[in-house]
Structure formats: structure tokens, C-alpha cells
Amino acid sequence: LPTFRITLAYDGTDYVGWQRQAEGPSIQGAVEDALRAIDERDVIVIGAGRTDAGVHAYGQVAGFTIARALSAEAVSRALNARLPADIRVVASEEVDAAFHARFDAISKTYRYRIWNGNAVSPFERRYVWHVAAPLDVAAMADAARLFEGTHDFAAFQAAGSATKTTVREVLHSALRTSHFEIITFDVEGTGFLRHMVRAIVGTLVEVGRGRRPPVWVADVLASRDRARAGPTAPASGLVLVSVAYGAPRALAAEP
Amino acid sequence: LPTFRITLAYDGTDYVGWQRQAEGPSIQGAVEDALRAIDERDVIVIGAGRTDAGVHAYGQVAGFTIARALSAEAVSRALNARLPADIRVVASEEVDAAFHARFDAISKTYRYRIWNGNAVSPFERRYVWHVAAPLDVAAMADAARLFEGTHDFAAFQAAGSATKTTVREVLHSALRTSHFEIITFDVEGTGFLRHMVRAIVGTLVEVGRGRRPPVWVADVLASRDRARAGPTAPASGLVLVSVAYGAPRALAAEP
């Protein structure tokens, strides 16, 4: 039975998130439905990251095993023929049957985009958070760097989360103005708590508005108190950019 | 009575085009409706270009006169507060009462974008034409240059058009690959016939697919026969980028 690793891009605006839910369209559900038409049986698709409702992806990674002998190219083509246009398979490859999209991931990179200006471009409105107030980008960039390293991110997770540990390692955290009125925050980590990136961005905007100095980030981290950090930034600005894996295991040669 | 020149960006996907129609939402209608709420009377808005159904704009220009004494800044803010999010005023200024958005335009620049690859990015799907077949971009670029100059574009206008003359001047016509799988065609002209840019693009794609050599463009121009040119490319890929005007007339000083 061939196992595949696919890379997905999606506009998450109209979805309840990655994970299949009782109500509403999910990305996982859309991919599983498309696979059912190809494989003629129920296939479970495992995603690298459980993106929330309204969150987008340039490079979500998912894995699954099917019963039909198809090439990676054929799987990709068949999926794109059946998926809605706001979900696309942008890459696919056959991998070792032991591949697990979530557990094998070494790091994930997210991007958050803020539209800092008056009129949000109609072409960007689904993919940004509109902050009309002037923002001090240099102060935000200083603050963004303070998230790098291994920290207890308890102050930056969704209320009511019950994770074993709230310690996470952030490999890279940088903020810059990119084009038009867009401020871009890129963050790579070995793992993320629920709403962690959005709570970080809400905190960076507090700094950008001049309400707090950049070093305040260290106090918030030390507090482990969600109430001390900034608000959770809206889902629309968040994109799962890519998921990194180790060197691929060689496919077992067919006997 | 103050006269304003506004610059509009819009995602034309959900509109019947610039011009108010008996049925369906138009850009002109949306702006006039928003102005009615501000000015409390009917205002006629004149657009520089009558973009067709599904065509977008980064910089459509429109002019109108209102009865209230408002600053350009206030007009822009009030319009953006009332317009749907897929239409934005990106600039506004007070101009001489004689300003006419269409007649005073010196040139217009359009952009057409082709997605030349398998899976169209979910973030670009509304703003491109998907051509999956391989395209020879160098041949298309050679052909694109042949449209520069003053030509009779009768072969490149919508069937059934009744214009006085089909001679138009193209100041700039260039095609290149830009980013991802996107091929971008930029064309500036002093005036355009209906569907002219889309017929040019349909013709360039015939060249890109190797069905015709670049010099074929000269034959099609000379033929003045719409049936000889390529098909009309879809509206989704077309954007009105900007409209150029001469040096602004100074506002008459108040006595």
C-alpha cells in the first residue's frame, strides 16, 4: 500500500480549520472526501499542523496511505481534479509507510501579515489583519527577536488548553515591512501551542502602538499568564508557510 | 460645489463591471450608492475606463461633484466606510470642476496575468487565467512587442462593437514571467477597444502554445478580422492598473 506526503496550499477563509468537525467544511474533510472518490474507501489524512478556522496555508503537509497503486503524480492530479479551487495540492511524493506528518515534523514556519494603513487592498483583505493605528515597526522588530529561543509560552496559548508542557523552542522570529502597507512577521519553531502565533502578534501590536516597550515581552513570558499578553490577533492574517522534515527515509525497495 | 478625482482598487469578481446595469451589482453603482448616503442626493460618477464583468482594478480613476463642502480626505474616509470591502478608495483629491475622468485621460495601463502551471494558487485563482499547457514565453514576449505603435485594432475588438475608428495607439506592450507560475503582460495605450487587451492575450497564448509564430501578429492586425485573432482571454486575469492624466489644472483660487 503506497503512502504519500502531499503539500497543500489553501485559502482558509471559508473553512472551520484543518480538522474535521461535526459542523462546517474542514480542509481535512475536503481532502478525505476527495480521496474517497479515488480510493473507494475511507482514508484518514494526517496533517502536520491543525490550522484553526480562517487560517491559511502555503505549505501544509499531510500524509495518508491508499489501497490503489497510483503514482504520486497521479494522486496529485486526481486530488486537484476533485478538491475545491481554494485547496490545491502543490507537491506530492511517495514516502516510507512509517511517515507521520505531525510526529516527523522538525519545525514549522508561520507568517502573519498586518495591513497597517487606511484602505485595505481588496486583493489582500482575506489575508491580513487590518490595524489602522500607526505602528512603530522598529520597536515591533526588537520585540519579535525576544521570542527566539526556548521559553515557557504559557502566556501565549489559547485559554483552556491542556497541554503537557508549555515550553516551546522558537528558532527564528523576525518582523519587517514588506510591500504596500504590509508588515510581515515570520516565525519558525519546533512546535507551537494553540493560538501561540496569534497571541505573539497581538502582543507585538501592543508594542507597535507604543503601549509597552519591547522588553515587556520578557516580562510577559516570565509571567506565564495569558492575561498579561496582548489579545489574540485574528485568524485571517495567519498562514502556515512550510513544514520541515529530516532527510527522507529511503523507500524500501520492492523485492 | 467641490469636484473630486478618486482612485479605486477593486476585486471585480462579484461585479457586472464598472457600469451600472439593470441587473447585478456594478462598481459605479456601489460608488454612487455610497455617495448618495454622504451627499443626500443623486451623484453621477464618471469612470476613466468601463471595465467589464469580472475585471479588476488597482487604479481605476473616477470623478464626481458633490453639493457638500467636504475635504478630499473626508470624502475618501466616508466612501470607504460605506463601500463593500472589495472596493476601496486608495487616493482622492479635489480637482477643477472641468475634470472629466474619461475624456481627460492621456493613457491607461492594463495588466493581464496567466497562471502557467498545474495547480493554481488558491490566493491567485480569482486574478489569473489558468493555462496548463506549456507556453513559450520568449515567443510571446516577441509577439507582445509587435502591438506597440499606432495600429488598426479591428481584429482585436469585441464582436458587434460600433466604434467610429478602430485605430489605437499602444505606447508599451511587454510580457515576462514574474513570480511563481505567473506570466504578466503589461500594456499601456492612449485608448482601448472593448475586449482589446483580452483578444491580444488570447492571441499571445496561441503564439505561446506554438500554434503560430510571433510575426503572425502583424498578419492578424493587417487582416482587421476578429476571426483571425486568438480567443478572448477570460476577464479574471485582467486588471486596470492605472490611468494617466496631464499636469493638473490649478484649482481656481476662492475670491
**pLDDT tens, A100-143?**
999 999 999 999 999 999 899 999 999 999 999 999 999 999 99
Question: Is B13 an interface residue toward A (CB < 8 Å)?
Answer: no
All residues of chain B having their beta carbon less than 8 Å from the beta carbon of residue A85 are 120, 122, 125
Rounded to an integer, the average pLDDT of B122-140 is 97
Q: Rounded to whole angstroms, how far apart are CA atoms A82 and A77?
A: 9
pLDDT for A247 equals 66
In B, minimum Cα distance to A87 occurs at: B122
- Are A123 and B11 inside 8 Å of each other by CB? yes
User: Which residue numbers in chain A have pLDDT < 50?
Assistant: 249, 252-255
- Are B123 and A122 inside 8 Å of each other by CB? no
pLDDT for A163 equals 81
pLDDT for A248 equals 54
All residues of chain A having their beta carbon less than 8 Å from the beta carbon of residue B127 are 123
Q: Which three cell numbers stand for residue A205?
A: 501590536
Q: Which three cell numbers stand for residue B190?
A: 492612449
- Chain B: nearest CA to A121, how far in angstroms? 7
Residue A79 is classified by DSSP as H
pLDDT for A245 equals 95
pLDDT for A255 equals 40
Question: Is B80 an interface residue toward A (CB < 8 Å)?
Answer: yes
Contact B128, B114 (CB under 8 A): yes
In A, minimum Cα distance to B14 occurs at: A122
Question: Is B120 an interface residue toward A (CB < 8 Å)?
Answer: yes
The count of CB pairs under 8 A between chains A and B is: 56
- Are B127 and A123 inside 8 Å of each other by CB? yes
In B, minimum Cα distance to A120 occurs at: B88
- Are B88 and A120 inside 8 Å of each other by CB? yes
- Are A119 and B9 inside 8 Å of each other by CB? yes
Q: SS3 of A186, please?
A: strand
CB within 8 A of A240, min separation 6: which ones? A48, A49, A51, A55, A56, A57, A58, A59, A60, A108, A109, A110
Question: Is B94 an interface residue toward A (CB < 8 Å)?
Answer: no
Q: Which residues of B are catalytically annotated?
A: 52
- Chain B: nearest CA to A165, how far in angstroms? 35
Contact B201, B114 (CB under 8 A): yes
Residue B236's nearest CA partner among B81, B98, B55 is B55
pLDDT for A36 equals 94
All residues of chain B having their beta carbon less than 8 Å from the beta carbon of residue A80 are 118-119
All residues of chain B having their beta carbon less than 8 Å from the beta carbon of residue A127 are 123
All residues of chain A having their beta carbon less than 8 Å from the beta carbon of residue B90 are 119, 121
Strand A167-177 versus strand A56-65 pairing type: unpaired
- Are A90 and B123 inside 8 Å of each other by CB? no
pLDDT for A175 equals 98
- Tell me the C-alpha to C-alpha distance, in Å, between residue A32 and each of A20, A89, A93: 9, 13, 17
pLDDT for A254 equals 43
Q: By CB neighbour count within 10 A (0-12 exposed, 13-18 middle, 19+ buried), where does B92 fall? A: buried
Contact A88, A80 (CB under 8 A): yes
Q: Rounded to whole angstroms, how far apart are CA atoms A57 and A242?
A: 8
Residue A175: alpha-carbon gap to chain centroid? 17
Residue linked to cell 526588537: A142
Residue A134: alpha-carbon gap to chain centroid? 27
Residue pLDDT, tens place only, B133-159? 999 999 999 999 999 999 999 999 988
Restricting to B residues 125-154, those with a Cβ less than 8 Å away from any Cβ of A are 125, 127
In A, minimum Cα distance to B7 occurs at: A119
Contact A233, A198 (CB under 8 A): yes
In B, minimum Cα distance to A126 occurs at: B123
Element spanning B198, H or E = helix B196-208
- Are A85 and B125 inside 8 Å of each other by CB? yes
CB within 8 A of A212, min separation 6: which ones? A206
CB count within 10 Å of CB B245 equals 16
pLDDT for B254 equals 42
- Chain A: nearest CA to B121, how far in angstroms? 7
CB within 8 A of B108, min separation 6: which ones? B48, B49, B188, B189, B191, B192, B240, B242, B243, B244
CB count within 10 Å of CB B239 equals 27
pLDDT for A179 equals 81
The amino acid sitting at B177 is T
Region of residue A53 (left: phi > 0; alpha: psi -120 to 50; beta: else) = beta
Contact B4, B96 (CB under 8 A): no
ipTM of this model? 0.88
Q: Which three cell numbers stand for residue A24?
A: 462546517
Which residue, among A55, A88, A123, A182, would best test binding to B if mutated, counting the most B CBs under 10 Å from its CB? A123
pLDDT for B255 equals 39
Q: Rounded to whole angstroms, how far apart are CA atoms B216 and B147?
A: 11
Q: Rounded to whole angstroms, how far apart are CA atoms A194 and A110?
A: 13
**For a pLDDT cut of 70, what percent of chain B falls above it?**
96
Q: SS3 of A238, please?
A: strand
- Chain A: nearest CA to B133, how far in angstroms? 14
Restricting to A residues 34-63, those with a Cβ less than 8 Å away from any Cβ of B are 56
Question: Is B78 an interface residue toward A (CB < 8 Å)?
Answer: no
Is pLDDT above 90 for B230?
Answer: yes
Is pLDDT above 90 for B13?
Answer: yes
Q: Rounded to whole angstroms, how far apart are CA atoms A130 and B129?
A: 29
pLDDT for B101 equals 96
Rounded to an integer, the average pLDDT of B225-242 is 97
Our CA dihedral for A200, A201, A202, A204, rounded to 10 degrees, sits at 90
User: Can you list the alpha helix ranges (DSSP code H) found in A121-236?
Assistant: 137-145, 196-208, 216-223
